[in-house]
Amino acid sequence: MAPKTAVSPLDLFAIDHLVDEEERDIQRTVRELVTERIKPHLAEWYEAGHVPVRELAPELGALGLLGMHLEGYGCAGTSATAYGLACLELEAGDSGIRSLVSVQGSLAMFAIWRWGSEEQKQQWLPRMATGEAIGCFGLTEPDFGSNPGGMRTRAVRDGSNGDWVLTGTKMWITNGSVSDVAVVWAQTDEGVRGFVVPTDSPGFSAPEITRKLSLRASITSELVLDGVRLPADAVFPEVRGLKGPLSCLNEARFGIVFGAVGAARDSLEATIRYAQERDIFDKPLAAYQLTQAKVADMGLELGKAMLLALHLGRLKDEGTLVPDQISLGKLNNVREAIKIARECRAVMGAAGITLEHPVLRHANNLESVLTYEGTSEVHQLIIGQALTGHSAFR
Ligand code: TGC
Ligand code: FAD
């Protein structure tokens, strides 16, 4: 019998019906950008361990993708769901490209937008929205990743003008060495506070972290603050304590709930295409029951992940989404995406290990995605606490 035409795994769920026209247009535009501008270079960037952030940022900014779901200051002000769909398409290219956009928009810009003074917003947000200025977000330290409350970076008041002096080291900071501005969280006498640090400040440096085997199309750096002196108004005026940085993580984690679906979708689509073309023992790999059981299970998990992402998007747009629900989404979707990418790699056999196909690149990237923005274990503990009432972090 002649083979039937294959459908894209997400079409099986008729997910298009759940997305409105404006959201679909945004998704289509980002998909085109990724297909035409980004995908042709990914293998090269991944191999080189370098991505031209300075070149890409203005192009991403021109499409309104930087600080996309924020209102005012040159930002596009789209729905949260539209932002999620953009993250999905970016990560269908590469998690590193989605990270570039997440860190700029959901971490650095969101922090300034939500907690900054009017002067800080005016100074940075319009230039960050266009991609002229790049931002990074320094929370993690060498000894404090999952437990950022233990951070050692310290900011103390100094001199009659009320200057701040910052000392410490941040670790694993995306976009660090290419940033114009760093949002840095530091201990003060009044608890954790956030600082807007121009990266040309004396005493600031951002050595790049090299030899990564994951997220190679992304720039990752240390931030070294060696007595960086800042004026009194460099601090976020009101917020104190961990809820400052954690409120920003909610935004970035939300984007990852969608983004992971993109990496999984791209892996599965590439694998189905390959299995249709690859003949083994005289017939296509796709025509074997064992292959079909795998692609059916992957398509099912992919569709469920997408439905979860859309559900959380709708909750966010109606203003009822809570952090525990974001943890459910991040835990499920990244965990399932990495399983899918690894399974796809196995289905492809040896071809799956090369940069000719995206599957091992996605799987390797997802190792970072599983760890950053709260490891799977951290999200299990957040959900466990919500369900049982007991905190098991300590
Ligand atoms: P805990 O005592 O639970 O809370 C301290 C204060 O924070 C409030 N809070 C939140 N506020 C807003 N959103 C949330 N999700 C919040 N979770 C907690 C809480 O109400 C409390 O407020 P207050 O006013 O009473 O002081 O804090 P804890 O020290 O026990 O830590 C909790 C824990 C472990 C869940 C948290 O620290 C955590 O999430 N750890 C993981 C760290 C993490 O995700 N780091 C990410 C760094 S950035 C990054 O990875 C970028 S990757 C690049 C990319 O995104 O693409
Ligand atoms: P650790 O906290 O040392 O955890 C090690 C292991 O212990 C993990 O398996 C963890 O799940 C487990 N664990 C932790 N706590 C518990 C517990 N209570 N019970 C049981 N098990 C536990 N950070 C930023 O601030 N800004 C960035 O831009 C940024 N970009 C990043 C980019 C990349 C590519 C990567 C890999 C990381 C980035 N990070 C960034 C850092 C990231 O957020 C941290 O790596 C993450 O929070 C985990 O911290 P850690 O690596 O120190 O692991």
Q: DSSP secondary structure string, 156-219?
A: EEETTTTEEEEEEEEEEEETGGG-SEEEEEEEETTEEEEEEEETTSTTEE-PBP---SS-TTS-
In this structure, the residues whose C-beta lies within 6 A of any atom of ligand 1 are 99, 102-103, 137, 139-140, 146, 148-149, 174, 241-243, 246-247, 249-250, 252, 323, 372-374, 378, 382, 393
- What lies within 8 Å, CB to CB, of 385 at 6+ separation is 391, 392, 393
Residue 256 exposed, middle or buried by CB count within 10 Å (0-12, 13-18, 19+)? buried
Instruction: Provide the H-helix boundaries in the chain.
Output: 21-33, 39-48, 53-62, 80-93, 95-102, 110-115, 118-130, 243-277, 289-317, 323-347, 359-371, 376-388
C-alpha distances out from residue 315 to 164, 254, 321, 323, 383, Å = 40, 11, 5, 11, 18
pTM, two decimals, is: 0.98
Q: What is the CATH number of domain 11-130?
A: 1.10.540.10
Residue 102 sits at the vertex; the CA angle it makes with 46 and 384, to the nearest 5 degrees, is 105
Q: Does residue 124 have its Cβ closer than 6 Å to ligand 2? A: no
* Confidence at residue 323, expressed as pLDDT on a 0 to 100 scale: 98
Report the residue among 179, 372, 382 best suited for mutation to probe ligand 2: largest number of ligand atoms under 8 A from its CB. 372
Domain ranges, ordered by start, for the chain: 11-130, 135-240, 244-388
* Confidence at residue 9, expressed as pLDDT on a 0 to 100 scale: 84
User: Does this chain's domain 135-240 share its CATH topology with 244-388?
Assistant: no
What gap in Å lies between CA 70 and CA 120, rounded to an integer? Answer: 15
Residue that is written with structure tokens 């998990």 in the block? 301
The catalytic residue among 222, 251, 269, 373 is 373
* Confidence at residue 69, expressed as pLDDT on a 0 to 100 scale: 96
| Ligand nearest the Cα atom of residue 144 | 2
Q: How far is the CA of 63 from the centre of ligand 2 (A)?
A: 31
373 is catalytic: yes
Q: Does residue 393 have its Cβ closer than 6 Å to ligand 2? A: yes
What gap in Å lies between CA 146 and CA 394, rounded to an integer? Answer: 11
Query: Could you tell me the fold of the domain covering 135-240?
Result: Butyryl-CoA Dehydrogenase, subunit A; domain 2 (2.40.110)
Q: Residue 70's closest CA among 58, 82, 59?
A: 82
Residue 252 alpha carbon, nearest atom of ligand 1? 55
| Ligand nearest the Cα atom of residue 145 | 2
What gap in Å lies between CA 265 and CA 9, rounded to an integer? Answer: 7
| Ligand nearest the Cα atom of residue 371 | 2
Instruction: For the chain of 394 residues, list the mean pLDDT of each consecutive stretch of 10.
Output: 75 90 95 97 97 97 97 97 98 98 98 98 98 98 98 96 97 98 98 98 98 98 98 97 98 98 98 98 98 98 98 98 98 98 98 98 98 98 98 97
Q: What is the CATH number of domain 244-388?
A: 1.20.140.10
Residue 374 alpha carbon, nearest atom of ligand 1? 44
CA-closest residue to ligand 2 atom 51: 145
| 3-state SS assignment for residue 282 | coil
Q: Residue 66's closest CA among 119, 31, 104?
A: 104
